[in-house]
């Protein structure tokens, strides 16, 4: 019997009244209404700046310390921010040093994006869903970059601040690039987000999760490494040009929405987290309590069969 091909992408965009999706990280709650209020009068159509609209970058710069609009690039979602950053780093410095350290389990695009940039992913296995700093320290020395994702997709875990500070110092001392994917930074149940900083840190974020704007694909990267930012823009000039100007204007509208929107969302996500976590526990499944994002990762004996069965028999989408 031929092995049935299985990848998360086969489920992306699948929708319908009869399908229950616990698949892609897709909020079902809508974006703030302000995002749509700009639409009726919108009439722009020309190319925008490759780096992104000035109003949006200026608004974002107020959210990050020691920042100005030049430190940002607006991208086609966090995905393009990750892809462009890896492609750029691959072309900088020593081209034979091409390893990127990825904590495992990981968001499924990380190793693929690393490989598409002609770099080599190497892995550090999480212990109880958190980075094992000793293993991290050993492996990062050979690496050109490392990807950090806290809160994490798919574990739902939030890294300890102590570990993040040690990583900041170590990567700074070694001159290793840090790609910090913080797209779930506003969905944390246990503490405030800790913004990783450093001379070669690239923070990746998006409007997809905080503002439920997944389909509009507005992400961004922020870095105080201006040389790196400029090189990223130089690549984007040829590979996609500006990010959709209307998506950016909608994102700009989102930046002006009161913090209450995020707090209300978080309250709902927390109730759901409690429901599903306790429900799965009651079923006898072994899993971590999610501390952020909206994922649970129960241990399942044969995850491949589980995912296919859940879809074929119950029209419930899950990933493994």
The footprint of a copy of itself (CB under 8 A) covers 7, 9, 12-13, 15, 24, 26, 30-31, 36, 39-40, 42-50, 76-77, 79-80, 83, 87, 108-109, 112-113, 116, 118, 212-217, 233-235, 237-247
Question: From the CB of 202, what's the least distance to a copy of itself, in Å?
Answer: 16
Contacts of residue 171, Cβ cutoff 8 Å, sequence gap at least 6:
140, 146, 177, 178, 198, 200, 201
Closer of 163 and 240 to a copy of itself (Cβ): 240
Closer of 31 and 198 to a copy of itself (Cβ): 31
| Sole residue written with tokens 């410095």 | 93
Closer of 80 and 186 to a copy of itself (Cβ): 80
CA-based nearest residue to 85, from 183, 184, 204:
204
Residues in the chain: 320
| Sole residue written with tokens 């892609």 | 24
Which residues are 218's β-sheet partners? 76
Positive/negative CA dihedral, 273, 220, 214, 262: positive
The C-alpha atoms of residue 166 and residue 177 are separated, in whole angstroms, by 15
CA-based nearest residue to 84, from 190, 196, 241:
241
Question: From the CB of 77, what's the least distance to a copy of itself, in Å?
Answer: 6
Closer of 23 and 198 to a copy of itself (Cβ): 23
Question: From the CB of 215, what's the least distance to a copy of itself, in Å?
Answer: 4
User: Residue 253 corresponds to which tokens in the numbers above?
Assistant: 């509208």
Question: From the CB of 98, what's the least distance to a copy of itself, in Å?
Answer: 12
Q: In this structure, are strands 72-76 and 218-223 parallel, antiparallel, or unpaired?
A: antiparallel
- The Cα angle at residue 282 between residues 280 and 288, in degrees rounded to 5: 45
The C-alpha atoms of residue 100 and residue 140 are separated, in whole angstroms, by 8
| Sole residue written with tokens 């909608």 | 250
Question: From the CB of 220, what's the least distance to a copy of itself, in Å?
Answer: 14
Closer of 101 and 245 to a copy of itself (Cβ): 245
Closer of 172 and 246 to a copy of itself (Cβ): 246
Question: From the CB of 159, what's the least distance to a copy of itself, in Å?
Answer: 23
Closer of 117 and 170 to a copy of itself (Cβ): 117
User: Both ends of the chain: CA-CA distance in Å?
Assistant: 22
Question: From the CB of 192, what's the least distance to a copy of itself, in Å?
Answer: 27
């Amino acid at each position: 019997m031929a092995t049935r091909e299985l990848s998360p992408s086969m489920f992306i965009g699948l929708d319908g009244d009869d399908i229950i999706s616990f698949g892609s990280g897709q909020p079902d709650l809508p974006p703030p209404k302000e995002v749509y209020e700009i639409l009726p009068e919108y009439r722009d159509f020309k190319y925008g700046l490759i780096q992104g609209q000035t109003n949006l970058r200026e608004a974002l710069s107020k959210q990050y310390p020691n920042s100005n609009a030049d430190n940002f690039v607006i991208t086609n979602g966090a995905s393009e921010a990750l892809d462009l950053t890896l492609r750029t780093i691959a072309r900088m410095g020593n081209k034979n040093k091409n390893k990127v350290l990825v904590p495992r389990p990981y968001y499924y695009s990380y190793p693929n994006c690393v490989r598409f940039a002609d770099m080599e992913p190497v892995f550090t296995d999480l212990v109880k869903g958190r980075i094992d700093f000793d293993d991290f320290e050993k492996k990062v020395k050979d690496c050109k970059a490392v990807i950090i994702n806290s809160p994490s997709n798919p574990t739902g875990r939030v890294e300890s601040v102590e570990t993040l500070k040690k990583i900041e110092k170590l990567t700074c001392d070694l001159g290793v690039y840090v790609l910090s994917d913080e797209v779930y930074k506003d969905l944390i149940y246990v503490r405030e987000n800790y913004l990783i900083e450093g001379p070669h840190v690239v923070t990746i974020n998006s409007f997809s999760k905080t503002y439920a704007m997944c389909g509009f694909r507005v992400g961004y990267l922020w870095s105080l490494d201006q040389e790196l930012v400029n090189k990223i823009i130089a690549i984007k000039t040829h590979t996609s040009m500006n990010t959709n100007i209307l998506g950016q204007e909608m994102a700009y509208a989102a930046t002006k929405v009161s913090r209450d929107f995020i707090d209300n969302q978080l309250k709902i996500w927390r109730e759901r987290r409690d429901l599903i976590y306790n429900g799965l526990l009651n079923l006898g499944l072994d899993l971590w309590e999610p501390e952020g994002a909206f994922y649970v990762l129960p241990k399942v004996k044969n995850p491949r069969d589980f995912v296919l069965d859940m879809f074929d028999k119950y029209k419930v989408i899950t990933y493994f």
